[in-house]
Homo-oligomer: A and B are copies of this chain.
Amino acid sequence: MLAQPSRLAETVFAEPGCLHWACGTAGAAWRIEWYRGRVMGGSGRVTLNDVAAASGVSRATVSFVLNDDPNQTISAATRERVRQAAHDLGYVPHGLARALREGASRVVVLNIDWGLEGNYSRSYVRGLDDELAAHGHVLLVRHGHQTPQETRRVLDAIRPRAVIRFAEPYLTGHELEDRGGGWKDGLAAHSALQVRHLAERGHTHIAQALPDGENPVAEARLRFAAQTADRLGLAPVVSFIAPRPRTACARAVEEFRAARPEVTAVAAFTDDVALRALTALHDLGLTAPDDLAVMGYDDTEYGALVTPALTTIHIDAEAHGRLAARTALGLDTSGLEPAPARVIVRDSA
Q: Which of chain B's residues have a CB closer than 8 A to the CB of A121?
A: 1
Task: Determine if B145 and A142 form an interchain contact, defined as CB atoms under 8 angstroms apart.
Answer: no
Distance to closest chain B CB from A11 (angstroms) = 8
How many A residues are at the interface, by size bracket?
A: 35 or more
Given known pairs A32-B328, A105-B158, A159-B37, the reply for A6 and B95 (CB within 8 Å) is no
Task: Determine if A125 and B153 form an interchain contact, defined as CB atoms under 8 angstroms apart.
Answer: no
Cβ of A229 within 8 Å of any chain B Cβ, yes or no, is no
Q: Which of chain B's residues have a CB closer than 8 A to the CB of A143?
A: 125, 129, 141
Interface centre among A2, A146, A333 (most CB of B within 10 A): A2
Given known pairs A113-B5, A153-B133, A211-B4, the reply for A141 and B144 (CB within 8 Å) is no
Given known pairs A5-B116, A96-B100, the reply for A154 and B179 (CB within 8 Å) is no
Task: Determine if A24 and B327 form an interchain contact, defined as CB atoms under 8 angstroms apart.
Answer: yes
List the B residue with the shortest CB-CB distance to A35. Answer: B155
Cβ of A318 within 8 Å of any chain B Cβ, yes or no, is no
How many protomers of this protein does the assembly include? 2
Q: Which of chain B's residues have a CB closer than 8 A to the CB of A216?
A: 5-9
A 325-340 binary contact with B (CB < 8 Å = 1; else 0): 0011010010000000
Q: Which of chain B's residues have a CB closer than 8 A to the CB of A244?
A: 301
Cβ of A201 within 8 Å of any chain B Cβ, yes or no, is no
* Complex Cα spacing A96 to B157, Å: 6
Given known pairs A3-B269, A156-B93, A176-B29, the reply for A306 and B279 (CB within 8 Å) is yes
Within 8 A of B (CB), among A1-23: 1-11, 13, 19
Given known pairs A6-B113, A104-B37, A327-B28, the reply for A19 and B177 (CB within 8 Å) is no
Within 8 A of B (CB), among A286-325: 297-298, 301-302, 304-307, 309, 323-324
Could you list 22 examples of A-B contacts with CB < 8 Å?
A1-B119, A2-B116, A2-B171, A2-B298, A5-B215, A7-B216, A8-B165, A8-B172, A11-B168, A25-B330, A30-B169, A31-B168, A33-B162, A35-B155, A37-B159, A92-B156, A95-B156, A105-B157, A109-B140, A138-B154, A158-B158, A282-B307
